[in-house]
Amino acid sequence: MASVESGSFGAAVRRWRDRLSPESAGLTPAGQRRAAGLRREELALLAGISADYVTRLEQGRADHPSHQVVEALARALRLSAAEREHLFRLAGLVPPGPDTVPTVIPPSVHRLLDRLAGTPVAVFDAAWTLLLANPLYTALMGERPQWPGHGRNGVWWTFVGPGSRVRQSPRERRAMETALVSDLRTTAARYPDDPRLHALIAELCADSARFAGLWDSGAVGRHRAARKTIDHPQAGPLTLDCDILGVAGADLRVMVYTAEPGTPDADRLDLLARSAVPALTSAP
């Protein structure tokens, strides 16, 4: 595979970062700004990668960005289809084909997240890989560390990862696991030629006996809306409604957390929005 064209990938990222304002990326500007575009820290937050890595990419000190990193940057920068394809080629990668799980977020979904800035919202692809989360969702659920491989995938996180802030009974846990495996099986049937999806399933079968058993059993379930209690280390427990919305024609899942108005949970969520989110979006 070709290497990153010297300087071109980083220059393109910097150019597109400079043209995107915080407001158009769904962020609230913080502090004095020397330029109208996104700061590196803001792009890193939106893409789910470290600010140091963004710096090294822009300065040409990081070679061979992964498919996931390029995809995340393309989404965060809100690139058009042609620009996204160009960014992949600058990285020495083949752009995803039509037989792979779609990961492009339409402008309408970006606008939806912009309008729901005070609500925790995240976008997942059909294989439950986290594509984009607004700052309040990240503040609520925690920043996911830069795990290698499939670390941003929700199914991997459930079966292999270190766990989440969501409080679950054993029964709720089993039901969720069954639903996720069933949902992933449906996606695998819809995209049988996606190599990343094949690799995800193979890794899960190898690393999780629970996943392998459910996969082999043909378990059937459905990931439904539910009330969830999130144990937040600063805000305390928040019991919220979690709804999952489908995006017609894009095969995306939009996860939305809301609190019943006038409740202590709504007050805690508002406090989180006023305290944790500015800390996430401001530069050090």
Supply the pLDDT for residue 135: 84
Q: What is the pLDDT of residues 199-215, one digit of tens each?
A: 999 999 999 999 999 99
Written as one string, the DSSP assignment of the chain is -PPPPTTHHHHHHHHHHHH--TGGGT----S--SSSS--HHHHHHHHTS-HHHHHHHHTT------HHHHHHHHHHTT--HHHHHHHHHHTT-PPP-TTSPP-PPPHHHHHHHHHTTTS-EEEE-TT-BEEEE-HHHHHHH-PPP--STTTTBHHHHHHTS---SEE--HHHHHHHHHHHHHHHHHHHHH-TT-HHHHHHHHHHHHH-HHHHHHHHHT-------EEEEEEETTTEEEEEEEEEEEETTTTEEEEEEE--TTSHHHHHHHHHHHHHHHHHHS--
Q: What is the pLDDT of residues 181-201, one digit of tens each?
A: 999 999 999 999 898 899 999
Using alpha carbons, select from 242, 117, 220, 234 the residue that is nearest to residue 168.
242
The amino acid at residue 239 is T
Q: What is the pLDDT of residues 107-132, one digit of tens each?
A: 889 888 888 888 999 999 999 999 88
Average pLDDT over residues 8-33: 82
Supply the pLDDT for residue 147: 57
Supply the pLDDT for residue 178: 92
- Supply 258's token pair: 């809301």
Q: What is the pLDDT of residues 231-266, one digit of tens each?
A: 999 889 999 999 999 998 889 999 999 999 999 999
d(CA 135, CA 120): 8
d(CA 136, CA 258): 11
- Determine contact, residues 123/253, Cβ cutoff 8 Å: yes
Distance between terminal CA atoms of the chain? 36
Shared fold status for 8-90 and 107-281? no
pLDDT more than 70, % of the chain: 88
pLDDT more than 90, % of the chain: 43
Q: Reply yes or no on whether the pLDDT at 96 is more than 90.
A: no
Mean pLDDT, the chain, integer: 86
Average pLDDT over residues 128-149: 81
- Determine contact, residues 279/37, Cβ cutoff 8 Å: no
Confidence label for 144 from pLDDT (cuts 50, 70 and 90): low
- Enumerate the β-bridge partners of residue 241: 227, 258
Spans of all domains in the chain: 8-90, 107-281
Domain 8-90, classified CATH 1.10.260.40, yes or no: yes
Q: What is the pLDDT of residues 47-70, one digit of tens each?
A: 888 889 999 999 888 878 888 889
Supply the pLDDT for residue 5: 47
The amino acid at residue 185 is R
Supply the pLDDT for residue 3: 43
The set of residues, in sequence order, having a beta carbon less than 8 Å from that of 138 and lying 6+ positions away, is: 45, 280
Q: Tell me which architecture the domain covering 107-281 has in CATH.
A: 2-Layer Sandwich (3.30)
CA distance readout (Å), 280 to 39, 93, 136, 189: 13, 31, 9, 38
- Determine contact, residues 72/91, Cβ cutoff 8 Å: no
Supply the pLDDT for residue 277: 66
Confidence label for 221 from pLDDT (cuts 50, 70 and 90): low
* Span of 17-26, 31-40, 105-114 with lowest mean pLDDT: 31-40
- Enumerate the β-bridge partners of residue 239: 229
Using alpha carbons, select from 44, 43, 45, 26 the residue that is nearest to residue 107.
26
